[in-house]
Amino acid sequence: MYTTIYLHGSLRKKYGKEFRCVAHSTKDCVRFLEVNFKDFRQFILDETEKGTFFKVRHGNYEIGEDELSDPIAKHRRVHI
């Protein structure tokens, strides 16, 4: 089953709007992005250092850091 990843803000400007991949958790989605964009991790770190913080939602539910390994909700949509 595919998961759709929607990027927003600076991530969307740099990498694009929407991606589909096989992922069971948000960590899997991030790994997918890291594999496809070699500078993805560094970009996140650089933006965070500048004061940008990223929210992650499964559908309409905002997840916390402790939930990044949890299964993605039935809607199969991850917003970053």
Contact yes or no for 78/72 (Cβ under 8 A): yes
In tens, the pLDDT along 7-34 reads: 999 999 999 999 999 999 999 999 999 9
> pTM score > 0.85 for this model?
yes
Say if residue 50's pLDDT is above 90: yes
User: DSSP assignment of 4-15, as one string?
Assistant: EEE--HHHHHHH
